[in-house]
Copies of this chain bind each other. A is one copy, B any other.
Amino acid sequence: MKVVMILSGGMDSVSLMHYLVSQSNEVHALSFDYGQRHRKELDCATKCAAALAVPHKVINISGIAPLVGKSALTDNIEVPHGHYEAENMKLTVVPNRNAIMLSLAYGYACTIEADALACGVHSGDHAIYPDCRPEFIEQLSTALATGTDGHRNPKLKIIAPFVNIDKGEIAKIGASCGVNFSETWTCYEGGDVHCGKCGACTERKEAFRDSGVPDPTEYLA
């Protein structure tokens, strides 16, 4: 199967890439530069794709910044610390971000006549990010199929293999597929080393702890 996937450079999407390759798919990875502060993830995406010889494009959509409002991920607002489920983590929501990236990637999947478009959303994101929930993925897949009906591959579907498992389970799958987690990036701060305190780092630490997969990450705290 020919699969386009969205590769952020984080442990979920890198694990997804390894998993899809392990299942004998022809994988094409896309990353989006939307002006995120944590640009290090784009370098990680490039490195991880190259390690698997997966064709990879980084698409610059930073011109859309005025549209999606202020978010701690792109603007000079302090990144909230603590756990994702807390109310203040909503500051890290870029409205409609997944729909934007999935719509763009779907256009690409049409162009290269792929069979599926994959993304690495998981159950731990459901509480805070509505665009990581299974019903959103299904509804968007239906809508985009309708909008491109008859164009090259009318059966193109959006798939989210990890949508019903949590980050700990993803760590186990990634480990079993040979992911080098030290080359993945999670932190929302713009530093050189994972901060260890932001919501993303908190969940990364928990995923390793819960799964028993060794955590190779260097944290500031």
Contacts and interface: CB of A to CB of B under 8 A. Distances in A.
Interface residues of A, number: 46
A93 interface: yes
A139 B146 contact: yes
A143 to B, nearest CB: 4
A1 interface: no
A67 B147 contact: no
Interface string A57-91: 10111111011110000000000000000000000
Given A104-B64, A110-B95, A143 B140 contact: yes
Contacts of A60: 63
Interface in A114-144: 130-131, 133, 135-136, 139-140, 142-144
Contacts of A61: 61, 63-64
A79 to B, nearest CB: 19
A155 interface: no
A61 B133 CA distance: 27
A116 to B, nearest CB: 15
A67 B142 CA distance: 20
Given A104-B64, A104-B67, A110 B133 contact: no
B143 A93 contact: no
B143 A130 contact: no
A47 B154 CA distance: 39
A107 B130 contact: no
A87 to B, nearest CB: 11
Interface string A138-161: 011011101111111000000000
Interface of A: 30, 57, 59-64, 66-69, 93-100, 102-108, 110-111, 130-131, 133, 135-136, 139-140, 142-144, 146-152
24 contacts: A57-B67, A59-B63, A64-B107, A67-B104, A67-B107, A68-B111, A69-B110, A69-B111, A93-B151, A95-B152, A97-B107, A99-B147, A100-B104, A100-B107, A130-B146, A130-B148, A130-B149, A130-B151, A131-B147, A135-B146, A136-B143, A139-B142, A140-B143, A140-B144
